[in-house]
Structure 1
Amino acid sequence: MGYAPYISCLHLQPLLISLFVVICGFTIIKVFKNHIIQKPKLPPGPKPWPILGNLPEMLSNKPVFQWIHNLMQDMNTEIACIRLGNVHVIPVTCPSIANEFLRKHDAEFASRPLTMATDIISSGYVTIAIVPFGEQWKKMRRIFVNDLFSPLRHHSFQHKRNEEADNIMFYVYNRCNNVNDKGLVNVRDVTQHYCCNVTRKMIFNTRYFGKGRVDGGPGPEEVEQVNTIFTLLKHVYAFSVSDYVAWLRAFDLDGHKRKVKEGMRRMEKYHDPMIEERMKQWKNGAKSVEEDLLDVLISLKDDNNNPTLTIKEIKALTIELMLGGADNPSNAVECTLAEMVNQPHILQQAIDEVDKVVGKQRMVQESDIPNLNYLKACLREAFRLHPVVPFNPPHVSSNDTMVANYFIPKGSHVLLSRHGLGKNPKVWSEPHKFIPERHQKSDGSMLVLSEPDLKFVSFGTGRRGCPAVILGSTMTVMLLARLIHAFSWSAPPNLSSINTLKSDKGGMLVEPLVLEAKPRLASELYYN
């Protein structure tokens, strides 16, 4: 009996030795494999801090987009990896790599990140542009493509767009004939209100929430709404620390949450009463004909003849539609006109083209757009050189993926740099010069504003590209064509040239464009 423990230990020793040998063997094999089989590497980037990643650098370098571009330039790379908290942020400035993301791997990068601002603006992700990939996005995409922005719907709303094009001519005519203004016109004010007027007319069938102004300009309600729209757009994908460290959202350290919520309250103040009243009209039979996009949204039915959309979805969509139609066309027209005034020969060539196509006995119409190729070349150059935002909305990877021989982890935020793509010196000669001729086709065939090869970004591409490209292109070309056809433009008397420097907040000119305008057509053409 006294020898039993000793005998047991003697039996266990060989087992322990064998186990030790096996563990050591597996360890040696693992180390060997790690040395022999190279792990896939992330794109180059700054060394991250533990837990925080590169958040300290992000917070100390403003504006963030400029810090990112400077990093990439210093590293001499067209794709980078910057870790913010636990999120890998992947900026891209190379068109071929961008195409690999959005063509070869489009399905893997079709989602959007969950952020504080997008959650609030989309009312809990019930819209389309800023929601993650999934059934809700698929449902909204079908509605946008088939019901809201189909070619048939686009054609049926042409008269609404014409009304706003006529009205903006009337407004500019009154501004440049106003003695107190001395012929000076704030072009940014004109372009932004035109875009919002068109969108408002298409959604609500009205130009004004209030009484408006007798000169065709916006009333205080429209001014407040447009200012609010651009405040929300500024914050929708801002680099907020709480989007990378979720538990910080409760503290609103940068004040973004407060500004977004207040902006949404102002938007809802104008939208909600109109939507609720319209829904009552459809319910009680006072309305039965679709006259605008709101009517379309309310009238949609599923297979069981039940409403396709809830009132929450309708309210959220009207806000997203207003945001979507405001900044890109207005900025492109403002920047194009600024460059044209600085290079009068470009402005004159565009005027000559419009005069040849249209004459001087009528205003430009949408049917003229296919023949205005030089004008469209000027706008393409503005999209390239003066993008309205530094980056496209982020694309989120749904799986671990290899792109351009780099490892892109699941959950990464891929940012296509509008600045970097449009000014990539490997793609564009003299990238910082405004040269419309670079976009003209040798055979003279029709130009379009979109750029599917991502040599610059106008309206995006891929699954998350803009579903209203036709509308956005039409609004942009129509506005610029009307402005240069109906008025002559020059720098104010106290300026020799226009400042085309950008704001440190993104893509807009650092100062709103103010020009001297004079009518160049018969006065009766300016009146509605």
Structure 2
Amino acid sequence: MLSQGMSYIPSFLWLPSQSFCLFFINILFGFMIIKTIKYYIVENPNKPKLPPGPKPWPIVGNLPEMLANKPATSWIHKKMEELNTEIACIRLGNVNVIPVTCPSIAREFLRKHDADFASRPITMASDIISNGYVTSILVPYGEQWKKMKKVLVKDLFSSRRHQWLQDKRNEEADNLMFYVYNKCNNGGLVNVRIATQHYCGNVYRKLFFNTRYFGKGMKDGGPGLEEVEHVDAAFVMLNCVFAFSASDYIPCLRLLDLDGHKGKVKNAKRIINNYHDSLIEERIKQWNDGSKNVEDDLLDVLITLKDANNKPLLTTKEIKAQIMELMLAFVDNPSNAVEWTLAEMLNQPELFEKAMEELDNIVGKDRMVQESDIPKLNFLKTCAREAFRLHPITDFNAPHVSIKDTMVGDYFIPKGSHVLLGRSGLGRNPKVWTEPYKFKPERHLKNDGSNIALTEPELKFITFSIGRRGCPGIMLGSTMTIMLLARLLHGFTWCLPPNTTRIKFVESNGVMVLDEPLTVVAKPRLAAELYGF
């Protein structure tokens, strides 16, 4: 008997939530079966063929195989090897995933058909990180992306801004030397991953917040607990943002968070927001009340941008989300490339000798390397290029989503397909590179001795990509990578720890960093006063 004032509720609404969820999934699957039949049977049988791939199951496609063979990236590469193909079509749920390991096909996607593949997928992680897609890197093609891309290219990463921020980058390069020198005097063992990742984190914090530390700071120049938590949270996001989550291909599963990615990303975002938001809000207040009127960093630049009506161009929400998204772009590639380069050099001491000879000839031993030296450091740049080729931090680049049906080569690429350019597949392609698994920097030297860049427009490997979705911070990323490598090699002699004869190259499961952080012996090779003493 119903209590007074209580309306009648149909009995099916009393079903447990789990039963209701299964009921909903059954309806969805029925709808997907109809779409699958239409796709494979009803439509024109003479439609151009898709790239080769494993035969998909109805509804779920190849998701069961992917989930049973982790990490998914290794499984994809194995399938492509079995099919003897450099472009494949793997159906995950209702999405065609198109991995590519051939440079000429990759160039066709990002040159001839660049406009057709300029979008990004809607995923759980990218939605959370971009605060509902108000940023630039993770945002699908549209007006918001155009607006934010223009801000990055014109206002944050122009040549003029690069020069304006040089003193801040120099300060962090000097602090790197101070920190490693202190580690030398306290046993000599240096965790290279900590040094490289937190150099990148320091540059990021300096450029956007004009500070190295969120807390009291460390006397030895190293990261405090706050900085460690800050950078670690960024890497959690990076590991999840395009991680082949089943819920990204069957969206109704997002409620269940089967792989735990949603909880990880939300927690990482909360950590970063705890450090960023109060600084951003206080700075906006200072500009609004007139207590600040001089631009000191990139946060000031974002706050003071005006639209055609002289009103703020960006909302607080956009500023917060864009600054968080850019943090992910700052910390990964330079730190990973330099850690791998040092590891490879420790196993090939002759490379150290070549690098030292170049640095001593160009810089000498009476001063530290400066950014003005970079154009002349061609051998160091070949080492960095080789690290990007052989040891990319991820197997695949961020997905490009097709906005219309397109023919690429002899294959039909349907609208909505996710095109994945294989970083490791391109860089280790035996049809392109001789001895693809050997670290050989000299392969990048030019016969005419001309300047070497870290970019690779022919997509024989990927550093900063190309096209509409290419990285707008190429100048900054290149400078950070070479300065980090040059300072470490010029300032210190590196050798293996006692009782170690060789670095074991074991890649971490799911990402391509060294499984264990590179921890080696460093000794100063310059006068003490050059390190800040």
| Residue 152 of structure 2 corresponds to residue 141 of structure 1 | no
Amino acid at match of 2:70: K
Q: Does 1:386 align with 2:391?
A: yes
Find the partner of 2:420 among 368, 390, 415: 415
Match of 1:350 among 349, 355, 359: 355
Equivalent of residue 111 in structure 1, options 119, 124, 147:
119
Residue-by-residue CA offset, 1:36-78 (whole Å, 9 max, x unaligned): xx43000000000000000100110001000000000111000
Q: CA deviation at 1:34?
A: 6.7
Is the CA contact (8 Å cut-off) linking 1:392 and 1:418 kept in structure 2?
Answer: yes
Corresponding residue of 2:296: 291
Query: Counterpart of 2:175 in structure 1: which amino acid?
Result: N
Partner of 2:86 in structure 1? 78
Tell me the distance in 2 between the aligned counterparts of 1:160 and 1:126. 28
How far apart in 2 are the matches of 1:113 and 1:442? Answer: 42
Q: Distance in 1 between matches of 2:205 and 2:471?
A: 18
Q: Which residue of 2 aligns with 1:91?
A: 99
Equivalent position SS for 2:317: helix
Tell me the equivalent position of 1:363: 368
Question: Residue 137 of structure 2 aligns with which residue?
Answer: 129
Does the 8 Å CA contact 1:387/1:507 hold for their aligned counterparts?
Answer: yes
Structure 2 counterpart of 1:153:
161
Find the aligned partners of 2:217 and 2:471 in 1 and give their Cα distance.
Answer: 31
Correspondence 1:449-468 to 2 at 5 A: 449-468=454-473
Counterpart AA for 2:79: L
1:516 is aligned to 521
Q: Distance in 2 between matches of 1:414 and 1:39?
A: 20
The Cα shift of 1:493 comes to 1.0
Report the 3-state secondary structure (helix = DSSP H, G, I; strand = E; otherwise coil) of the residue aligned with 1:77: coil
1:503 to 508, 515, 529: 508
Question: Letter of the aligned partner of 2:285 in structure 1?
Answer: K
Listed as ranges, the matches of 1:234-253 within 5 Å are 234-253=239-258
C-alpha offsets along residues 82-118 of structure 1, whole Å, 9 cap, x if unaligned?
0000000000000000000000000000000000000
1:397 aligns with 2:402: yes
* AA aligned opposite 2:64: P
Q: Normalising by structure 2, what TM-score? A: 0.91
The one of 77, 86, 109 equivalent to 1:101 is 109
SS of match in other structure, 2:97: strand
1:499 is displaced (CA, Å) by: 1.5
* CA displacement at 1:212 relative to structure 2: 1.3
The answer to whether structure 1 residue 169 and structure 2 residue 173 are counterparts is no
C-alpha separation in 1, matches of 2:97 and 2:328: 25
Counterpart residue number, 1:326? 331
1:271 aligns with 2:279: no
Is 2:73 the partner of 1:68?
no
Cα deviation code 1:151-206 (max 9, x no counterpart): 0000010000000000010000000110xxx2110000100000010011000000
TM-score (norm 1): 0.92
Q: 1:215 aligns with which of 212, 215, 220?
A: 220
- On the 8 A contact 1:329/1:472 being kept in 2, the answer is yes
CA offsets, 1:366-416, max 9 Å, x none?
000000000000110000000011100000000000002100000000000
Q: Does 1:233 align with 2:252?
A: no
Residue in 1 that maps onto 2:193? 188
Instruction: Give yes or no for contact 1:92–1:416 (8 Å, CA) kept in 2.
Output: yes
The 8 Å contact of residues 486 and 521 in structure 1, kept in 2 or not, is answered as: yes
Identity rate, percent: 68
| Alignment match, 1:10 | none
Q: Please say if residues 127 and 316 of structure 1, whose CA atoms lie closer than 8 Å, have aligned partners that are also in contact.
A: yes
| Mapped contact 1:335–1:500 kept (Cα < 8 A) | no
Gaps of 5+ in 1: 1-30
In the alignment, is the contact (CA less than 8 A) between 1:390 and 1:507 conserved in 2?
A: yes
Residue of structure 1 equivalent to 2:449: 444
The separation in 1 between residues aligned to 2:452 and 2:148, in whole angstroms, is 30
CA offset at residue 123 of structure 1? Answer: 0.1
Deviation at 1:505, TM superposition (A): 1.5
SS of alignment partner, residue 515 of structure 1: strand
Counterpart in 2 of 1:305?
310
Cα displacement string for residues 286-345 of structure 1 (whole angstroms, at most 9, x for unaligned residues): 100110000000000011111000000000011111111000010000001110111000
Distance 2:503 2:465 in 1: 29
Where 1:88 maps in the other structure, the secondary structure is strand
CA distance in 1, matches of 2:188, 2:183: 7
1:204 corresponds to 2:209: yes
CA distance in 1, matches of 2:243, 2:305: 34
1:339 aligned residue (337, 344, 369): 344
Letter in 1 for 2:357: D
Cα distance in 2 for residues equivalent to 1:501 and 1:354: 30
* 1:373 and 2:378 are equivalent in the alignment: yes
Residue 501 of structure 1: how far off its partner (Å): 2.1
What SS class does the counterpart of residue 514 from structure 2 fall into? Answer: coil
Evaluate the alpha carbon distance shift between residue 251 and residue 356 of structure 1 in structure 2; reply closer, same or farther with a 3 A threshold. same
Task: For 1:347 and 1:411, locate their aligned partners in 2 and report how far apart those are by CA, in whole Å.
Answer: 47
Instruction: Name the CA distance, whole Å, in 2 between partners of 1:410 and 1:427.
Output: 30
1:345 aligned counterpart, secondary structure: helix
Q: Which residue of 2 aligns with 1:47?
A: 55
Secondary structure at the aligned position of 2:453 is classed as coil
- Structure 1 residue ranges, 4+ long, deviating more than 4 angstroms after superposition: none
SS at match of 1:470: helix
CA distance in structure 2 between the partners assigned to 1:174 and 1:483 by the alignment: 13
Give yes or no for contact 1:157–1:202 (8 Å, CA) kept in 2.
yes
Aligned residues: 492
Which string of whole-angstrom CA distances, capped at 9 and with x for unpartnered residues, describes residues 406-441 of structure 1? Answer: 000000000000010000111000000000010000
Equivalent-residue separation in structure 2 for 1:385 and 1:501 (angstroms): 13
Amino acid at match of 1:367: S
Q: RMSD value over aligned CA atoms?
A: 1.1
Q: Deviations over 1:449-498 (max 9, x none)?
A: 01011000011111101100000000000010000000000111121011
SS in 2 for 1:489: strand
- Give the corresponding residue for 1:260: 265
Aligned residue for 1:393, secondary structure, equals coil
498-507 vs 365-374, greater mean Cα deviation: 498-507
